[in-house]
Amino acid sequence: MNRAISDLPPLRGRDHKLDTSAERLGWLEDVPDAERQSRTALWARLERDGYLLLRGAIPPIASVEFRSYYFASLQASGLLEPDSDPALGIASHLEYDRAALRCAARCLRRSCRARSMQISATR
């Protein structure tokens, strides 16, 4: 990446300025090809960095479809901008229904677990 973190505009979350110091914010690093096939290397990287950036591991259409499904599931809570396309995930500036959000999150977890079991059964 060519841009420096200092080039970013101030970041805010829930009306608070976020810490953008080098200790708290930085560019994500791709997992090198040499590590992608090693479970041990992936676990070590995950434990060290707290994330794995595996570009190309998921087909883009699957990612877009899941994003649309995910945000459509949250729409009834009022978390998204009214009348916006759920696939865009545009946050509403209005109050949202926390109980409906918790319910949607539980339903998403159940459906994702069920889907992962279906995928595992076909392997």
User: Could you report the per-residue pLDDT of 52-94, keeping only the tens digit for each?
Assistant: 999 988 888 888 888 888 888 888 888 888 889 988 888 888 8
Query: Is residue 2 included in any domain, yes or no?
Result: no
* pTM of structure: 0.56
Query: Is residue 109 included in any domain, yes or no?
Result: yes
Other C-beta atoms lying within 10 Å of the C-beta of residue 30: 12
User: Could you report the per-residue pLDDT of 2-17, keeping only the tens digit for each?
Assistant: 566 667 777 777 778 8
Query: Is residue 102 included in any domain, yes or no?
Result: yes
Domain range for residue 74? 60-122
Q: How many domains are there within the chain?
A: 1
The torsion angles phi and psi of 66, rounded to 5 degrees, stand at -65, -40
pLDDT band at 1 (very low <50, low <70, confident <90, very high): very low
The torsion angles phi and psi of 114, rounded to 5 degrees, stand at -60, -45
Task: Name the one residue in this structure whose structure tokens are 């959000």.
Answer: 101
